[in-house]
Structure 1
Amino acid sequence: MDARAISLVRTTFKAVAAVEGGPEKLTSSFYAILFARNPQVRDFFPAAMDVQRDKLVAAIAHIVDQLEDLDRVLTFLAQLGRDHRKYGVVDAHYAAVGDALITALEQFAGAELWTEEVDAAWRDAIAVIAGAMMDAANADDGPPVWQGTVVDHIRALEDVSIVRLQLDQPMDYSAGQYVSVSIPSRPRMWRYLSPAIPANAEGQIEFHVRRVSGGWVSPAVVSNTVVGDRWTMGSPLGSMTRHTAEDRDRLLIASGTGVAPLRAQLMEMASRSVNARVHLFVGGKYPCDLYDLPTLQLIASTNPWLSVVGVVEDEEDPWWYQDHGPLAGPAPIVGQIGKVVAEFGTWSGRDIQIVGSPSMINTTKFRLQAAGVDLSFVHHDPW
Structure 2
Amino acid sequence: MTANAVVNPLPRQERTESISDPVATMVRLVRDTWAFVEPHAGRVAEFFYATLFSISPATRELFPVNLQVQRARLLRALVHVVQLVDRPDDLIPFLRQLGRDHRKFGVVASHYEAVGMALLAAVKQYARDAWTDDVERAWAEAYTIMARAMLEAANADDGPAWWTGTVVERQRLTRDLAVVRVQPDHPVPYQAGQYLSVETPQRPRMWRYLTPATAPREDGLLEFHVRAVDRGWVSRSIVATAQPGEVWRMGPPMGRLRVDRKAGRDVLMIAGGTGIAPMRSIIEHLAQWGSNPHVRLFYGGRVRADLYDLEHVQDIATTNPWLTVIPVLETESRIATAERGTLADVVTRHGAWPDHDVLVSGSPPMIRSTVSRMLVAGTALDHITYDPFTVD
Normalized against structure 2, the TM-score is what? Answer: 0.87
Deviations 1:27-48 (A, max 9, x none): 2211111111222211110123
Q: Which residue of 2 aligns with 1:101?
A: 119
The alpha-carbon deviation at position 87 of structure 1 amounts to 0.6
Q: Which residue of 1 aligns with 2:46?
A: 28
The structure showing larger relative contact order (alpha-carbon pairs under 8 Å, at least 6 residues apart) is 2
Against the structure 1 CA distance between its residues 138 and 201, is the aligned structure 2 distance closer, same or farther, given a 3 Å change threshold? farther
Answer yes or no: is the 8 Å Cα contact 1:157–1:291 preserved in 2.
no
> Which structure 2 residues correspond to residues 155-170 of structure 1 after superposition, within 5 A?
155-170=172-187
Answer yes or no: is the 8 Å Cα contact 2:82–2:143 preserved in 1.
no
Q: Distance in 1 between matches of 2:101 and 2:379?
A: 34
Q: Which residue of 2 aligns with 1:320?
A: none
Q: Distance in 1 between matches of 2:302 and 2:100?
A: 36
Which SS does the other structure have where 1:241 is aligned?
coil
Q: Which residue of 2 aligns with 1:361?
A: 367
Q: Distance in 2 between matches of 1:294 and 1:358?
A: 25
Q: Distance in 1 between matches of 2:102 and 2:372?
A: 34
Equivalent residue in structure 2 for 1:338, among 334, 338, 344 = 344
Which SS does the other structure have where 1:134 is aligned?
helix
Equivalent residue in structure 2 for 1:189, among 189, 206, 216 = 206
Deviations 1:124-183 (A, max 9, x none): 333222211110001111111111111111112221101000001111112111111111
Q: Which residue of 1 aligns with 2:132?
A: 115
Answer yes or no: is the 8 Å Cα contact 1:246–1:275 preserved in 2.
no
Unaligned runs of 5+ in 2: 1-18
Answer yes or no: is the 8 Å Cα contact 1:12–1:113 preserved in 2.
no
Q: Distance in 2 between matches of 1:57 and 1:91?
A: 18
Equivalent residue in structure 2 for 1:276, among 271, 293, 301 = 293
Against the structure 1 CA distance between its residues 57 and 41, is the aligned structure 2 distance closer, same or farther, given a 3 Å change threshold? closer
Equivalent residue in structure 2 for 1:11, among 14, 25, 29 = 29
Equivalent residue in structure 2 for 1:297, among 314, 339, 360 = 314
Which SS does the other structure have where 2:188 is aligned?
coil
Deviations 1:244-271 (A, max 9, x none): 8653100101111110000000000001
Against the structure 1 CA distance between its residues 4 and 334, is the aligned structure 2 distance closer, same or farther, given a 3 Å change threshold? closer
Q: Distance in 2 between matches of 1:180 and 1:272?
A: 30
Equivalent residue in structure 2 for 1:380, among 369, 379, 386 = 386
Bigger CA radius of gyration: 1
What is the Cα-based RMSD across aligned positions, in Å?
Answer: 2.4
Question: What one-letter code is carried by the residue in structure 2 that aligns with 1:375?
Answer: L
Give yes or no for the alignment of 1:40 onto 2:40: no
Equivalent residue in structure 1 for 2:83, among 61, 65, 85 = 65
Q: Which residue of 2 aligns with 1:217?
A: 234
The alpha-carbon deviation at position 344 of structure 1 amounts to 3.9
Normalized against structure 1, the TM-score is what? Answer: 0.89
Question: What one-letter code is carried by the residue in structure 1 that aligns with 2:66?
Answer: A
Against the structure 1 CA distance between its residues 164 and 332, is the aligned structure 2 distance closer, same or farther, given a 3 Å change threshold? same
Against the structure 1 CA distance between its residues 180 and 307, is the aligned structure 2 distance closer, same or farther, given a 3 Å change threshold? same
The alpha-carbon deviation at position 314 of structure 1 amounts to 3.0
